[in-house]
Amino acid sequence: MRTLRDESGRTYLLLKRSDESSLVRDPRTGEERYLDNDRLEPAEGTSPLETEALAVPPAVRRLLTASRDERSLGLLLLLDDRGPLPVRTLLDAGDYCESDLHGLLAEFRAAGLVEERQVAGERGYGTTEDATAALATLTGGD
């Protein structure tokens, strides 16, 4: 399997190639169609497996890659369910030391999953709309 791009930059997976056209699949929609070979070029440096992952909504992909274990996923679920919460509450709720918690929250902020908020006059964190939507997708919530 190879990753290809058309002239607009859209990414496809190559399923079958002939002299004049190629059968490709759009990973976002699952649609398969034939495109002329002169409209396609190899997407150098893009793994076909990364292209397959495009079937998953971007916010869910970010959540999956940023949540390195069940504890970190649990922290996001807690923030989404009960948040925003002050840092002190987050420290009491889990078994993270302060530096590990701040490191994880920084990673979540960089991924666009949490944002810093003031909670009862203290620094706290809450989930972003993207994180809430991604968690709802994973948990089957609305």
Find the domain containing 36 and state its range.
2-55
CA distance 94 to 78: 10
Domain count, the chain: 2
- 17: helix, strand or coil: strand
Statement to judge: residues 82 and 33 lie in one domain: no
CATH number at residue 19: 2.30.30
Is pTM beyond 0.75? Reply is yes
Helix and strand element counts for the chain (H, E): 6, 8
The pLDDT tens digits of the residues spanning 67-82 come to 989 999 999 999 999 9
CATH number at residue 107: 1.10.10.10
pLDDT of residue 27: 94
pLDDT of residue 142: 61
CA distance 66 to 82: 20
Per-residue pLDDT of the chain in tens (142 residues, 90 and over written 9): 899 999 999 999 999 999 999 999 999 999 999 999 999 999 988 899 999 999 999 999 999 999 989 999 999 999 999 989 999 999 998 788 999 999 999 999 999 999 999 998 999 999 999 999 999 999 987 6
